[in-house]
Structures are given as C-alpha cells and as structure tokens.
Amino acid sequence: MTDTLDAAKLTDRVAALVEAAKRAGADAADAVAVRGRSTGVSVRLGKVEGTEASESEDVSLRVFVGKRVASVSATAASDPSMLAERAVAMAKVSPEDPYQGLADPVLLVKKPRDLDLFDATEVSADQLKEAALAAEAAALAVKGVTNSAGSGASAGLGGLVLATSHGFVG
C-alpha cells in the first residue's frame, strides 16, 4: 500500500476516470481514489472481546456539464467508462448550480510538495491487544473503579490521489 507502484496505480485510476468523463461529454471533472487499511482489538475485563480488520480501495468521480453536476462512487476496480457515462447522464438531468465548479487553474499548485506525512509503522494485532489491555488495566487501577466497559486499540493507514480535468494530479 505504501510503495511507488501503488501510488502510480491510484494516479492511473483517477486519470482514467477524468479522461473517461471528458469522452462521455463532461465539460470538467475531478476524481479521487482512496485506499485504506485498519486493524482493531477490543478487550473487556482482561479478555479479548473482538478483533476487526478492513481494507478498502474506492474511487469517486464528479462531473460538470455546464452548471450541472453529479457524483458517483464505486470500488476502484469499477469500469471508468461506465462510471463516467452514469455520472454525465445524472448531471444532464440535475438542476443547475452556479456555485459548483473546479478551482481556477491559476490557483492550482504546479509541483505539490511531499509533506512527508506517511508513517510506515506496522502495528500487529498482538501489539494492539497489549495496548488495549494496558489501557483497561490502568482504568481498573483507579481507586473505586471496580468494573470496565472495556477498552480498545486500533491502527490504520490510508491515502488518496486527486486528479482534475484542469491538469492537477496529486
């Protein structure tokens, strides 16, 4: 999820959606691809009560036909042409909205900076269990506390890529 190939895949997906929207008749469009992964452990009274894990990869496409706008969302594996055609058809029957639109291209950053916000730390389910147990134990150690509704620990990571028909990709 963190390597350059994955970022390139997300970039390719949003670029394909924007191109498909233009081919389908949109005057302008933007697309977002979002990928996420999370893991969580809950405990109650010193025992594991539940664990969960999730992964997702989704896309969203917003199209503009004149002053009309529509959005569609789907899994990243969805066909870009089909999504674009559906979004353009929806926009054509939507009411006009003079306040919707893409940012002026003059306002777009030309070379987005890498803000170095990614933390590659992988947290195992065992580490999450230990953190949840420690949190509950700390609460139960408070004088007068005799019961617990439980505790939990979770970790996740995610990222997104945005592309616009005005030339922004980042």
What is the assigned CATH class of domain 4-164? alpha beta
Percentage, residues of the chain above pLDDT 70 = 97
Phi, psi of 147 (to 5 degrees): -145, 165
67, 102 Cβ separation under 8 angstroms: no
pTM of the full structure: 0.79
DSSP assignment string, 112-156: -------------HHHHHHHHHHHHHHHHTSTT------EEEEEE
pLDDT tens digits for range 63-100: 999 999 999 999 988 999 999 999 999 999 999 999 99
23-41 mean pLDDT: 96
In this prediction, residue 112 carries a pLDDT of: 78
Domain ranges across the chain: 4-164
In this prediction, residue 2 carries a pLDDT of: 45
3-state SS track over 38-84: EEEEEEECCEEEEEEEEEEEEEEEEEEECCEEEEEEEECCCCHHHHH
127-132 mean pLDDT: 97
Residue with tokens 């939990």: 152
**What letter does residue 106 receive in the DSSP assignment?**
G
